[in-house]
């Protein structure tokens, strides 16, 4: 059977997404979902769309959604491309630029999917190690024939972010498209947001997600912002009808309720600060997070054991191992009550 497959696919292990337990009863702090429900306007918008219109194909270009996203960011609709989750956006971008043998670089430690996407294209992964100050070395970008750079900003698992000025330096240095993955951007201070750089940097692509800030992981919606010319070519790579009718409507409703986003953001930011401080007081090393999770390494007990013991107590966090870093726990910011229960259980098991 494997002989039928492309060799790069046959030998791949495949990306393993975070555990999604199908029985309830877990405090789920492992996949960085938002602990608060989406804006009530989203549900209303979906219900309003549940007409016989379902029998027709959706707008292939998600026009109303593009307009809403462009308005929010103060750019043109032609600079927006919607995707079936920001993973779809990352797939489209990778397929557009990276062919067999082509070098593509990603910051590390970071989102493990970048490596999977490069393997699927039979490309060559180039690692850009973060410094101890959570920044990148511009010299590492001097890779002949480099086709694409991925930077999660804020990063996962560290939660840290590079300021916009540093990203601008990277954009000037790299002679290829740079994808700045702002899946967690809604939890970061605006000085980390890179869409304002688009005017000066034709090689910039910024991706955004509805799974985190907008509490809509269940509907699969993300988008990218780039120059109109860049978007025009990227459109060729996407599936014709990649975003369905309901998610397009949900996305517009979510974008138009910025005050709701601001509320949940504030709550998550406050709980994040408290969670980070508590973990530090227990002896963990926790970088300052701009995201909706914290990354705890070191600490008083081996992370693998702690992970298991928390799981036995029906608390799921994510155990993450990266070369050059001690095994650590990535803990999503839950509700205050969930985080209290997590901290209480943690104190018992370490």
Query: Of 69-98, which residues contact a second copy (CB under 8 A)?
Result: 84-85, 87-88, 91, 95-98
Q: How far apart are CA 203 and CA 208, in angstroms?
A: 17
With binding defined as CB under 8 A, does residue 219 bind a second copy? yes
Which member of 71, 172, 191, 233 binds a second copy (CB under 8 A)?
233
Binders of a second copy among 109-148, rule CB under 8 A? 113, 120, 122, 147
**320-344 exposure pattern, b = at least 16 Cβ within 10 A, e = fewer:** bebeebeebbbbbbbeeebbebbbe
Cβ-based nearer residue to a second copy, 176 or 278: 176
Coil vs helix vs strand at 69: helix
Q: How far apart are CA 86 and CA 267, in angstroms?
A: 24
CB 294, min distance to a second copy, A: 19
Coil vs helix vs strand at 190: helix
Nearest in space to 193 (alpha carbons), one of 217, 225, 222, 215: 225
Phi-psi region of 188 (alpha: psi -120 to 50; beta: other; left: phi over 0): beta
With binding defined as CB under 8 A, does residue 10 bind a second copy? yes
Cβ-based nearer residue to a second copy, 297 or 332: 332
Which member of 163, 202, 302, 326 binds a second copy (CB under 8 A)?
202
Q: What is the DSSP letter of 137?
A: -
Task: Tell me the window of 42-50, 156-164, 190-198, 304-312 that interacts with a second copy (CB under 8 A).
Answer: 42-50
Which member of 27, 128, 180, 216 binds a second copy (CB under 8 A)?
216
CB 155, min distance to a second copy, A: 19
Tell me, residue by residue from 251 to 290, as one string, x for binding to a second copy by CB under 8 A and - for no binding: ----------------------------------------
CB 326, min distance to a second copy, A: 26
With binding defined as CB under 8 A, does residue 149 bind a second copy? no
Residue with tokens 């726990």: 329
Binders of a second copy among 309-338, rule CB under 8 A? none
CB 20, min distance to a second copy, A: 6
Q: Is the peptide bond before 9 cis (omega within 30 degrees of 0)?
A: no
Q: How far apart are CA 65 and CA 108, in angstroms?
A: 32
């Amino acid at each position: 059977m494997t002989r039928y497959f492309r060799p790069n696919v046959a030998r791949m292990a495949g990306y393993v997404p975070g555990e999604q337990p199908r029985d309830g009863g877990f405090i789920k702090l492992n996949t960085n979902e938002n602990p608060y429900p989406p804006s009530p306007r989203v549900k209303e918008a979906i219900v309003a769309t549940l007409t016989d219109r379902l029998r027709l194909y959706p707008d292939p270009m998600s026009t109303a959604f593009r307009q809403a996203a462009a308005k929010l960011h103060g750019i043109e609709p032609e600079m927006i491309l919607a995707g079936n989750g920001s993973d779809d956006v990352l797939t489209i971008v990778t397929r557009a630029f990276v062919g067999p043998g082509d070098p593509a670089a990603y910051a590390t430690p970071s989102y493990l999917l970048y490596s999977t996407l490069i393997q699927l294209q039979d490309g060559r992964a180039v690692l850009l190690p973060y410094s101890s100050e959570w920044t990148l070395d511009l010299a590492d970008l001097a890779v002949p024939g480099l086709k694409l750079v991925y930077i999660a900003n804020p990063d996962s698992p560290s939660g840290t972010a590079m300021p916009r000025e540093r990203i601008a330096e990277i954009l000037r240095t790299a002679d290829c498209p740079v994808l700045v993955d702002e899946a967690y951007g809604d939890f970061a201070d605006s000085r980390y947001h890179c869409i304002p750089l688009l005017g000066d940097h034709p090689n910039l692509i910024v991706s955004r997600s509805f799974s985190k800030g907008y509490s809509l992981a269940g509907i699969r919606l993300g988008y990218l912002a780039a120059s109109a010319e860049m978007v025009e070519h990227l459109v060729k790579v996407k599936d014709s009808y990649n975003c369905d009718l309901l998610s397009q409507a949900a996305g517009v409703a979510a974008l138009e309720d910025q005050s709701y986003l601001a509320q949940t953001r504030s709550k998550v930011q406050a709980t994040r600060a408290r969670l980070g401080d508590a973990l530090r007081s227990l002896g963990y090393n926790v970088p300052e997070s701009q995201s909706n999770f914290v990354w705890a390494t070191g600490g008083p007990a081996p992370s693998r054991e702690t992970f298991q013991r928390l799981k036995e107590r029906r608390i799921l966090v994510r155990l993450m191992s990266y070369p050059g870093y001690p095994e650590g726990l990535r803990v999503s910011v839950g509700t205050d009550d969930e985080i209290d229960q997590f901290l209480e259980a943690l104190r018992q098991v370490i």
